[in-house]
Amino acid sequence: MVASHLPHPITRFLISTTRHVCCLPHVRPHLPTTIPYKYQIQIGNLTIAGRSSSRSRENETEMEVNGTVTNAEKLQSQFLELLRTRRSSQVPLTVEPAKPVVNPLYQEVPPPTSSEEMESCPKANIGNLKELLKEENLYLHTEAGEQGKLPLLILSMKDSNLEKRPAVVFLHSTHKCKEWLRPLLEAYASRGYVAIGVDSRYHGERAKSLTTYKEALVSSWKNGDTMPFIFDTVWDLIKLADFLTQREDIDPTRIGITGESLGGMHAWFATFADTRYAVAAPIIGVQGFRWAIDNDMWEARVNSIKAVFEEARIDLGQSAIDKKVVEKVWDRIAPGLASQFDSPYSIPVIAPRPLLILNGADDPRCPLDGIETPTKRALKVYAKAHSSNNFKLIAQPGIGHKLTPLMVKEASDWMDKFLQQ
């Protein structure tokens, strides 16, 4: 089920359990000082104290094949430092009760009604499941300010026998919200998980109108003080890990994360940044941002959030959106996304934790050729760590940028094999 030009058979690996759990984000994670790796990451200067990280092509992050090792902690530390540069005032991690959302806000017209793909998720055969589910609606305060309030929807079975259970965090796609994820939450909860859905930044309860997310992206380009595309939500997910690892009903060594599209990107970067996410299955999210620029394959991704690129085009005096505009926007709203922290560098850092990448073979937003390099490098790292069976890429033939029942089933199986121990 994977493209034949990739160098190794990457699908259908058998699985062995390997978990790494770090302590709280303000303490150094419990990782090896170095991970054995054939490639060495040369980190160029990244301007994180200022408003952007633009620089010349010559000074861009490079990876050399020289038989040395890459320092995973260093790259993670640089990413966390970047996240902290655009935070509002820090606040104690607090939780407050919330009410169920009756009319979820979807930033698309017409709003979606149901997802057969999510409904297909395997669930336990429990006739009165809805009556047996425990639902929690909470707000987790991750930083000061309006966007620092993280809405949570948590489902679990009422009869837990007081045992610590595995947990899985779910991230929605662009313009949707945590309520959209309910079929997945119910299915996983029926199988013994604590299932957590969140609203990403400027979505769901964190949005006020149909244009909230678009306006946030444009504001980030104009002002350079937020990172609404991927990175700000990753900060929330690090704080969420603080909360989940402190709950009495969750086994802190068995926390997984998955998501679709934008949510897949959130899952990818959260797993890269925080080793408490022990298992990951990003769906139609992993891609090569630098590769797309260099190979003129950026248009489909750009069109998904086109307003910010149009604004940048005008500000930069360009007659059309081109690769220069694309690179400037990424450097401004998500510094390092197309360089230091791109998939060739961040994906291998996830090793040896179990990672399943699920993409469509014909996805124009996540071109398969664009993840060939990170796939090769990840295979080398997992092999060095004697955990080759912990990495798998499935590229479903004939599928573009779309969630499918196969992807839902494969992600579900991946979580069960590693977390239901």
User: Cα 350–226–53 angle (5° rounding)?
Assistant: 70
- Does residue 46 have a pLDDT over 70? no
Q: Are 61 and 41 in contact (CB under 8 A)?
A: yes
At 355 the pLDDT is 98
Mean pLDDT of 100-119: 96
At 88 the pLDDT is 82
Q: What percent of the chain has pLDDT over 90?
A: 80
At 316 the pLDDT is 98
- Does residue 342 have a pLDDT over 70? yes
Mean pLDDT of 307-321: 98
pLDDT tens-digit readout, 110-131 = 999 999 999 999 999 999 999 9
Which one-letter amino acid corresponds to residue 14? L
How far does CA 279 lie from the centroid of its chain? 12
- Does residue 30 have a pLDDT over 50? no
Q: How many Å apart are CA 170 and CA 168, to the nearest integer?
A: 7
Q: How many Å apart are CA 155 and CA 43, to the nearest integer?
A: 41
pTM for the structure as a whole: 0.85
Which one-letter amino acid corresponds to residue 177? C
pLDDT band at 160 (very low <50, low <70, confident <90, very high): low
Spatial CA neighbour of 172 closest among 197, 142, 209, 147 = 197
Q: How many Å apart are CA 81 and CA 248, to the nearest integer?
A: 30
pLDDT tens-digit readout, 192-227 = 999 999 999 999 999 999 999 999 999 999 999 999
Residue 230, sorted as left (phi over 0), alpha (psi -120 to 50) or beta, turns out to be left
Residues 6+ apart with CB under 8 A from 36: 69, 381, 384, 385
- Phi, psi angle pair for 321, to nearest 5°: -70, 125
Of 327 and 40, the structure prediction assigns the larger pLDDT to 327
pLDDT tens-digit readout, 12-29 = 222 222 233 333 333 333
| Mean pLDDT, the chain, whole residue set | 86
At 163 the pLDDT is 86
Q: How many Å apart are CA 396 and CA 377, to the nearest integer?
A: 21
At 56 the pLDDT is 31
The Cβ of residue 293 has, within 10 Å, a number of other Cβ atoms equal to 17
Give me 44's structure tokens.
Answer: 């160029």
- Does residue 352 have a pLDDT over 80? yes
Mean pLDDT of 296-324: 98
At 50 the pLDDT is 30
